[in-house]
Amino acid sequence: MPQRSIRFRIHADGRVEETVEGVAGPACHDLTERIEASLGVVQQRVASSEAFLQASESVSVGVSLSGETVSTGDS
């Protein structure tokens, strides 16, 4: 099973760029849905060609988010 990872880049203007690797197809969205809801409004979702591979292959997807408050804990 490939390693799954989520990387975040926080830009000076407050935008958060999220990159997911090692997750194929709709499982990527399922994995990041709660995180994206906590961060704010998804402004843009860009799926790479790997996003359309079968679940047994790896995937890399970039997402840009915008929000005023960032909370990663469960409340």
Note the pLDDT of residue 5.
87
For residue 52, what are its two tokens? 């359309």
Task: Provide the whole-model pTM.
Answer: 0.61
Q: Do residues 41 and 15 touch, judged by C-beta distance below 8 A?
A: no
Please state, in angstroms and rounded to a whole number, the distance separating the CA atoms of residues 42 and 14. 13
Beta bridge partner(s), residue 65 = 16, 42
User: Can you list the residues of the chain whose pLDDT is less than 50?
Assistant: 57-59, 69-75
The percent of residues in the chain predicted with pLDDT above 70, rounded, is 65
Please tell me the predicted confidence (pLDDT) of residue 71: 42
pLDDT at 64: 63
Q: Indicate the domain borders of the chain.
A: 5-66
CB 67 within 8 A of CB 17: no
